[in-house]
Amino acid sequence: MANSIYFASTTLHLYVASAIAASRPGEDAHLIFIDQPESKPYPLYDIVRNWPGSPFSSVSLFYGRFPGLFNKLRKRRQLFAALSQKLMQLRPEHIFTGNDRRIEFQFAMHKAKAIGSSAIGHYMDEGVFTYLGRDASSSFSDRIIDNSIKKIIYGLWWKNPPTVGASDWITYVHPAFPELIHPLLRKKRLVPLNAASFNSKAMQSLSESILLKSGIPPESLGAVETFITLPHESIFENEPLYRERIAFIVRQQTELGKAVAVKYHPRNKSPDSLDLSSEGIHLLPAEVSFEALLPYLSSECEILGDLSSTMIMARWLRPDLKVNAFSLDNSSFGILLRTIGISKYT
């Protein structure tokens, strides 16, 4: 049986990788978590290792965020050595990633070729970049400076993608909305993702495990009538009117008698930047993944949020839900959200 490797650095990567792996029964799938802070507990790793319905034959964790420049370079060499051993052991025919800028993926593709495996590269939909592209990829800094430095440090095998998912390493793209992907990705072979794959019993058990680990009884989400997902707190700090608008919306929903739940951005420094707990709403743990919450929301629930990947994922994975944005301008992102059926909250 052919081996395949799936690199995941986010919960979304895990969910998409799991759905794809489950749909490819002719392969032996192996999951590798990457890009996590060194020596910091990573609960998702243990959850997946103990996941009864897992489509993965093995699960590994390779840390990727190291403090200090020289320490980082030394640890990167160790990382490459560990990856080399894994690739020699598995000799994968397919390698999946949610970001082909990740050094782990590019090294794996290079190493696989060097040992005669000739693995095929796959890009898994990660959200915004899939549809709007990554403007920074075409900047002088990325194309010339960053590209040259990485080639000098790591080797000529490093390839600077013109946008995420468009590097020469990628043959197949797995998008949620194939008709809307960035033009550079349309040059690849497309394999549309199937949202139904996320409704399997195995995926539900994964979501349940993630919620319970965060202290959330899954059944409690069924009572939520308005679910608000918030951007990073820097938005509130830089735009005072934004803070007032969110507070107004929360107050408006509670005055309508709605059961409101709010999830802050996981990288916020403050647990309650807007002091919403005083409004009598249900604050969900910021670190819990949005993907794990979605399956347990009632079909009557309304999701409110801003211009982010969570809105795209909500529209795709739960097409039965009403999804509205706080603001919806005529930017490329605003047009994308309108195209997939998201309206402006009024």
Question: Is the fold of 2-197 the same as that of 216-344?
Answer: yes
- Bridge-partner residues for 32, per DSSP? 7, 60
Residues 6+ apart with CB under 8 A from 128: 308, 309, 312, 333
Q: Does position 305 have pLDDT exceeding 80, yes or no?
A: yes
- Smallest Cα–Cα separation from 323: which of 296, 343, 309, 294? 343
Distance CA 124, CA 56 (A): 16
pLDDT at position 46 is 95
- Smallest Cα–Cα separation from 95: which of 191, 1, 170? 170
pTM, whole model, 2 decimals? 0.93
Q: Does position 240 have pLDDT exceeding 80, yes or no?
A: no
pLDDT at position 167 is 95
Q: Quick one: CATH architecture of 216-344?
A: 3-Layer(aba) Sandwich (3.40)
What is the pLDDT averaged over residues 70-98?
Answer: 93
Q: Give per-residue pLDDT as tens, 19-53.
A: 999 999 889 999 999 999 887 889 999 999 999 98
* 260 phi and psi angles, rounded to 5 deg: -105, 135
Distance CA 334, CA 346 (A): 16
Distance CA 141, CA 125 (A): 25
Q: Give per-residue pLDDT as tens, 254-265.
A: 999 999 999 998
Retrieve residue 274's tokens: 């807007």
Q: Does position 69 have pLDDT exceeding 80, yes or no?
A: no
CATH T-level topology, domain 2-197: Rossmann fold (3.40.50)
Neighbours of 295 (CB within 10 A): 18
Q: Give per-residue pLDDT as tens, 160-175.
A: 999 999 999 999 999 9
Retrieve residue 88's tokens: 């020699």
What is the pLDDT averaged over residues 202-207?
Answer: 93
Domain ranges in the chain are 2-197, 216-344
> 338: pLDDT confidence band, cut at 50, 70 and 90?
very high
